[in-house]
Structure 1
Amino acid sequence: MTEFVLVAGAKLGAWAWDAVVPGLLAAGYGAHALTLSGLAEKRGAPAGQQTHVRDIVEEVERLGLRDVVLVGHSYSGIPVGQAAERIGDRLSRVVYVDASVPADGKSFLWGWPSDGVRAAIEANDGFWPSFSAEDLADQDLTDEQIARIVRDSTPHPGASLTEPAVVTRPLAELPSTYVKCLLDWPEPSDDVAELLKSDRWELVTMDTGHWPMFSQPHELARILHESVTSP
């Protein structure tokens, strides 16, 4: 049985997948939403990026999962991409949901204007502050969804955003699906566009914002299903 391991992006926990998991279970898959160290119910635990990679690998091993599809949203594409090569033949596919992808020796904050994020981390005792309603505006979210995300999000451990990735195998070699949310930005980033040249990568688009697990959970569950059933 295919087993999905779902990892939400910065400031979020396993709860972010609450509306996606039922669709996967109904389709006959295993679905395991994971909270990374330092977030949600694990708030307060010290965590760097490599801690988050270990969180994912150890969850797969703890549960004895095989035929694993690792799903990383936003920031979590970086630890998910690293974990993918470390779980070996347990891996079936990687799905990046509007996500960053790891580059060896580069951090999450590399390659985009990050001065504001770095300043916020420094001003908040090493944490990127939790979401405000303004952060979530114009992303196809209802007022109720925005209120829930603001209420339940937690500050994100800054070390995980500044610590460099460790990638030893080209990502292009791993079977992968990239889900691009068009409302957030209509084109994949340059590094993702390069990876999409690989015959092992495929691109899927969603006409929604950066948090599709809230705005279009049933459509996202369908896309995850098709990522493992399409030829």
Structure 2
Amino acid sequence: MVNFVLVAGSWLGSWAWDEVVPELRAAGHGAYPLTLSGVGEKRGVPAGQQTHVQDIVGEVERLDLRDVVLVGHSYSGIPVGQAAERIGGRLARVVFVDACVPTDGESFVSRWWEGPAELEASIAGNNGFWALPTAADFVGQGLTDDQIARFIGGATPHPGASLAEPAVLARPLGELPATYIKCLLDGAEPSDDVAALLTSDSWRLVEMNTGHWPMFSQPHELARILVDTAGK
């Protein structure tokens, strides 16, 4: 048995894992979905990136969890990757679900694929928050209309400060035991930084034939993969 701590990406709270959690628990594991400060039911709480790191570390310590598998999706791979090294011997594995990975001194914004200036301007123009995606942003991601509506209906604007604050790593991320789940509809190959980490003997790659939000599009397959990581 392991204890999964699940952290969804931008705009999403713990509810995003509602179809994954029951299957993890049915397999005999602990499953603890976490809403980060500033989104969902914690909307209005000031939140930088290090706030999110502490959210994760604090939850592990509050529940006194051992044999922890930290699961970070999308943006949340950045705080999850930092939290993974900070929980020390409690960590069993870290799983990045089509996620960004932290680079010491770099932020989500600084590595934004369309360029930092565009994302910075978008956040500034939305009162310091990253605005919600529109239905058009989900095209080609393997989601039904109902799944898209569920996403948009439950999402909240994401605090821009968490996206702009740089990551802080004490040691190379490649030393951590890790699984990277690449969702192929969001790009056939991992990003260059992830590809470099996958050369480590401690990292393994798993592919899913779905889009960037597999907890919505393929929750049962995602749960199966997570259960499989528990035995690695």
Q: How does the TM-score come out when normalised to structure 1?
A: 0.98
CA distance in 2, matches of 1:59, 1:131: 28
Shift of 1:76: 0.1
User: Match of 2:177?
Assistant: 175
Question: In the alignment, what sits opposite 1:54?
Answer: 54
1:119 paired residue number: 121
C-alpha separation between the residues in 2 aligned to 1:147 and 1:31? 25
Secondary structure, aligned partner of 1:169: coil
**Residue number in structure 2 paired with 1:23:** 23
2:230 match: secondary structure:
helix
| Inter-partner Cα distance in structure 2 for 1:17 and 1:131 | 19
Counterpart residue number, 2:136: 134
Q: Secondary structure at the match of 1:110?
A: helix
Aligned residue runs from structure 1 range 88-107, under 5 A: 88-107=88-107
How large is the RMSD of aligned CA atoms in angstroms?
A: 0.8
2:37 counterpart of 1:37: yes
> Are 1:131 and 1:149, in contact at CA under 8 Å, matched by a contact in 2?
no
In 1, the alpha carbon distance for the partners of 2:34 and 2:47 equals 15
1:166 aligns with 2:174: no
Distance 2:123 2:14 in 1: 23
- Cα displacement string for residues 184-207 of structure 1 (whole angstroms, at most 9, x for unaligned residues): 011000000000000000000000
Where does the alignment leave 5 or more consecutive residues of structure 2 unmatched?
none
Task: Name the aligned partner's letter for residue 19 of structure 2.
Answer: A
Match of 1:83 in 2: 83
User: Aligned partners of 2:169, 2:91: CA distance in 1, in Å?
Assistant: 16
Amino acid at match of 1:196: L
Gaps of 5+ in 1: none
- What aligned pairs does 1:58-77 form with structure 2 within 5 A after superposition? 58-77=58-77
- 1:184 is aligned with what amino acid? D
How far residue 119 of structure 1 moved from its aligned partner, in angstroms, is 1.2
For 1:107, give the aligned amino acid.
S
Partner of 1:202: 204
2:216 maps to: 214
Alpha-carbon contact 1:14-1:35 (below 8 Å) kept: yes
One-letter code of the match for 2:231? T
Residues in 1 aligned to 2:4 and 2:48: alpha-carbon distance in whole angstroms: 24
For 2:17, give the aligned amino acid: W
Letter in 2 for 1:82: Q
User: Identity, % of aligned pairs?
Assistant: 69
Question: 2-side partners of 1:94 and 1:217: how far apart?
Answer: 18
Contact 1:131 1:153 in 2 (8 A): no
Q: Which amino acid aligns with 1:141?
A: L
Q: 1:224 aligns with which of 219, 223, 226?
A: 226
State the shift of 1:167 in Å.
0.5
Q: Secondary structure at the match of 1:183?
A: helix
Q: Measure the CA separation in 2 of the matches of 1:41 and 1:194.
A: 36
Q: 1:145-183: CA deviations, max 9, x gaps?
A: 001111111000000001000001111111000000000
